[in-house]
Amino acid sequence: MRLALLGAAFSVGGAHPGCRHGPQAFYEQEFRGLHRRLPLGMRWAGVVRESGSGLQRYPQGASIVLDSVQRLKHRVQQLRRGGMLPVIIGGDHTCAIGTWSGVGASRQQPLGLLWIDAHLDSHTPESSASKRLHGMPLAVLLGEGDSRLTHLAGFSPVIDPRFCAVLGVRSFEAGEPLRLKRLGVRFYTRDEIHTRGLAAVLNEAWRHVSAAPGGFGVSLDLDVLDPMLAPGVSVPERYGLQPRKLAQLLRQQSRKHRLRALEIVELNPRKDPQGQTRRLLPQLLRALLESR
């Protein structure tokens, strides 16, 4: 398996402009060390940069996000067709629209997806009070929202809701849970994780998404982690997952040969002055890629 790490320097649709600098910070300070420690062929495939700057809400920011995710989609599609496993380093979570549309376009088949995040990211423009586009990517991938985004792969939905799960949720707004329940998407809140244990919940979610006929992917937002240990994110939420435990359990998962891409997003260097969040990213990547 050959890996291509690709940066997505996105922030226009997010909550803080600093997250666009996450991919470059990772490349400059963590990539070489990861390259030495992974027993896999890998290369840095560059950075897809947004054409705009500042923060823009829907609908004003939609054209910039559309252009950005289209370019990311094409790059991911090229990497997949070249026999590479794309590993996307974001940027705000709108980049997921480009990542998974690119994988879907390369296969012409919906995927399974494990969305590991403190938030559901399942708004449409009609349900969102903030109109921030980083709160909408999962809904888009499930076929709901702005049609310019939902059909980026040439078909919709890109993610098969029967093989989609969200893990680590501890902040969401009205409309999001109803949408996911209607679509049949399983989501695991902090309360359920506390009751059942992270191991039981993650094992169940991984089995669920990895059964997708077209293969599956993982999209991990660093804000799922406890901000006491990983402060470098744009929208921190208290009482998150423990990084070491999450990495241990991810490493234990099977069926990784069915992974079609990986994505880790929302590294914000401006909120990570000591680099502690940045240093967690290679550990999580290794756990996702290595077999037990």
Q: Which helix (H) or strand (E) holds 99?
A: helix 95-107
Contact 98, 76 (CB under 8 A): yes
What one-character DSSP code corresponds to residue 82?
A: T
**In the predicted model, is pLDDT for residue 1 greater than 80?**
no
For residue 157, what pLDDT is reported? 98
68-96 average pLDDT score: 97
203: tokens are 């094992």
Domains in the chain (CATH in brackets) are 2-289 (3.40.800.10)
Determine contact, residues 233/222, Cβ cutoff 8 Å: yes
Average pLDDT over residues 84-103: 98
pLDDT, one tens digit per residue, over 227-273 is 999 999 999 999 999 999 999 999 999 999 999 999 999 999 999 99
Mean pLDDT of the chain, nearest integer: 96
One DSSP character per residue, 164-216 reads: EEEEEE-B--TTHHHHHHHHT-EEEEHHHHHHH-HHHHHHHHHHHHHT-TT-E
Q: Which of 4, 7, 5, 3 is nearest to 90 (CA)?
A: 7
Query: Which pLDDT value is given to residue 292?
Result: 55
What is the pTM assigned to this prediction? 0.97
Q: How far apart are CA 149 and CA 5, in angstroms?
A: 23
| pLDDT of 201 higher than 60 | yes
What percent of the chain clears pLDDT 90, i.e. is strictly above it?
Answer: 93
Radius of gyration of the chain (CA): 17
Confidence label for 7 from pLDDT (cuts 50, 70 and 90) = very high
The reported pLDDT for the residue numbered 174 is: 85
Looking at the predicted structure, is the pLDDT value of residue 160 above 90? yes
Residue count of the chain? 292
Q: Kindly provide the residue ranges of all beta strands, DSSP E only, lying in the chain, ordered along the sequence.
A: 2-9, 41-49, 84-90, 111-116, 159-169, 186-189, 216-221, 259-265
Spatial distance between the Cα atoms of 133 and 137, rounded to a whole number of angstroms: 7
* pLDDT (mean) for 101-116: 96
Output the pLDDT for position 84.
96
Q: What are phi and psi of 160, to 5 degrees?
A: -75, 115
3-class secondary structure, 12: coil
CA–CA separation, 103 and 258 (whole Å)? 13
124-146: per-residue pLDDT in tens? 999 999 999 999 999 999 999 99
Coil, strand or helix: which one is 288?
Answer: helix
Distance CA 240, CA 249 (A): 15
Local confidence band at 9 (pLDDT 50, 70, 90 cut-offs): very high
Does residue 88 carry a pLDDT above 70?
A: yes
